[in-house]
């Protein structure tokens, strides 16, 4: 049975666990009835980013005209140098665009929701909360903590005509699309994941070439879960040349939006410009399916090459990506930070915490000299 928190103003909170069948079924039912159907709020998606000791949860509140649905991962703070400080937890949103989603919720109801949610956090000894927020203000519930704008994201407006989208592209994009077509590149739409082997071959090769960190390497089971448990909310697009897949992209699909998720291109095929054609065909497909926006995302740093590449598809389609990090238990937060700092300086006396990392006590530690 799901946990229920009686809140003020008639806003009661249900806490659902995506690993409990009854909770996941109710959660998925609410999600399916929601016009936005944001993929980042689906229980199967949240489970993907919860470790064995984490809890993939959602806070749900029905309001007079609508509802709030807040998917999150509740994590134990249990690294060895912090474990003895205090038994506690923290919250993070799954990878992507999240935070608390809302539909037809008043300001009074929003305040009541957060009051009830903070009550839940107190019972679970939650120290801090970090959320990556939806790009679209109309579907997110304003968080109670301070928000910080990070990188700009590129969003293509699929409500434009195909000709209008084409004219908005930078000249180099139009040139590259035409070159790919002349070179014989064709695009396949894969709704079932039958091309997963080709996707993994190219994606993993791309990550190797970019010397990506371990966090960008997902096991095959990760993608298989998307295929098995998120039908209708993913599409693979494959670019072929001479019968071989040379560029590929996994796109996540919500009620109104498409999201460029993961993909790559074989290095030897760069000159064919298959990825430009791939992006254009994703837009054409999304428009035909009645979607309104295609989120290409941003770069790793402000104005880097990846961002400039994406911006060429929608020079005027920029939206700010924001995060919210808030401390719910300041005393415990300070104790955890102190313990983390002591351990980091034991390993490297010159270590200093970064102002950019939240929560501070989860910053990567220097290598331990005792392991040498």
Q: pLDDT for 292-337, tens place per residue? A: 999 999 998 888 999 999 999 999 999 999 999 999 999 999 999 9
Helix then strand then coil, % of the chain, to nearest 5: 40, 25, 35
Beta-strand pair 3-5/234-241: unpaired
Q: Is 76 exposed, middle or buried (0-12, 13-18, 19+ CB in 10 A)?
A: middle
- pLDDT score recorded for residue 140: 96
User: Apex CA 133: angle with CA 162 and CA 352, to 5°?
Assistant: 125
Token pair of 192, please? 């079932």
Query: What's the whole-model pTM score?
Result: 0.94
Q: Which residues contact 188 (CB under 8 A, 6 or more apart)?
A: 195, 237, 238, 239, 240
What is the CATH code of the structural domain delimited by 153-320?
Answer: 3.40.630.30
Cis bond upstream, residue 359 (ω within 30): yes
Instruction: In whole angstroms, give the CA distance from residue 125 to residue 114.
Output: 16
As to burial, measured by CB atoms within 10 angstroms (0-12 exposed, 13-18 middle, 19+ buried), residue 238 is buried
Tokens of 23: 């909770």
Question: What is the three-class DSSP state of 35?
Answer: coil
Predicted pLDDT of residue 79: 83
DSSP 271-334: GG-HHHHHHHHHHHHHHHTT--EEEEE--SSTT-HHHHHHHTT-TT-EEEEEEEEEES-HHHHH
Three-state SS annotation for 88-105: CEEEECCCCCECCEEECC
- Taking 70 as the pLDDT cut, the residues of the chain under it are 1-2, 5-10, 83-86, 372
Alpha-carbon distances, residue 149 vs 73, 134, 135, 323, 328 (angstroms): 22, 12, 11, 7, 21
Q: What is the pLDDT of residue 303?
A: 86
Which alpha helices (DSSP H) does 1-42 contain, by range? 21-33
Give 201: exposed, middle or buried? Use CB within 10 Å, 0-12, 13-18, 19+: middle
Residue with tokens 């929003």: 110
State the residue for tokens 């924001």: 322
| Strand pairing class (89-92; 244-253) | unpaired
């Amino acid at each position: 049975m799901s946990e229920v928190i009686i809140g003020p103003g008639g806003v009661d909170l249900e806490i659902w666990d995506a690993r409990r069948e009854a909770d996941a079924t109710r959660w998925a039912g609410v999600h399916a009835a929601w016009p936005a159907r944001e993929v980042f709020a689906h229980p199967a998606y949240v489970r993907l980013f919860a470790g064995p000791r984490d809890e993939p949860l959602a806070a749900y509140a029905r309001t007079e005209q609508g509802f709030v649905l807040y998917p999150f991962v509740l994590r134990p703070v249990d690294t060895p140098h912090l474990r003895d400080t205090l038994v506690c937890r923290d919250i993070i949103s799954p990878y992507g665009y999240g935070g608390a989603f809302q539909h037809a919720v008043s300001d009074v109801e929003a305040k009541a929701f957060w009051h009830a949610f903070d009550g839940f956090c107190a019972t679970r000894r939650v120290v801090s909360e970090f959320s990556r927020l939806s790009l679209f203000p109309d579907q997110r519930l304003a968080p109670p903590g301070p928000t910080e704008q990070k990188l700009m994201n590129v969003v293509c407006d699929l409500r434009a005509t195909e000709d209008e989208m084409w004219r908005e592209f930078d000249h180099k994009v139009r040139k590259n699309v035409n070159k790919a077509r002349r070179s014989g590149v064709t695009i396949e739409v894969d709704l079932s994941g039958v091309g997963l082997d080709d996707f993994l071959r190219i994606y993993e090769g791309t990550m190797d070439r970019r010397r990506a960190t371990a966090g960008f390497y997902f096991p095959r089971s990760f993608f298989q879960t998307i295929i098995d448990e998120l039908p209708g909310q993913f599409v693979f697009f494959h670019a072929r040349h001479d019968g071989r897949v040379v560029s590929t992209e996994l796109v996540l699909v919500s009620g109104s939006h498409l999201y460029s998720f993961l993909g790559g291109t074989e290095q030897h095929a760069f000159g064919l410009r298959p990825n430009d054609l791939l992006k254009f065909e994703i837009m054409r497909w999304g428009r035909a399916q009645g979607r309104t926006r295609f989120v290409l995302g941003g770069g790793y740093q402000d104005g880097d090459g990846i961002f400039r590449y994406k911006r060429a598809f929608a020079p005027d389609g920029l939206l700010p990506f924001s995060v919210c990090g808030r401390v719910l238990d300041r005393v415990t937060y300070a104790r955890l930070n102190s313990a983390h700092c002591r351990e980091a300086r034991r390993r490297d006396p010159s270590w200093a915490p970064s102002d950019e990392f939240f929560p501070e006590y989860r910053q990567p530690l220097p290598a331990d000299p005792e392991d040498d």
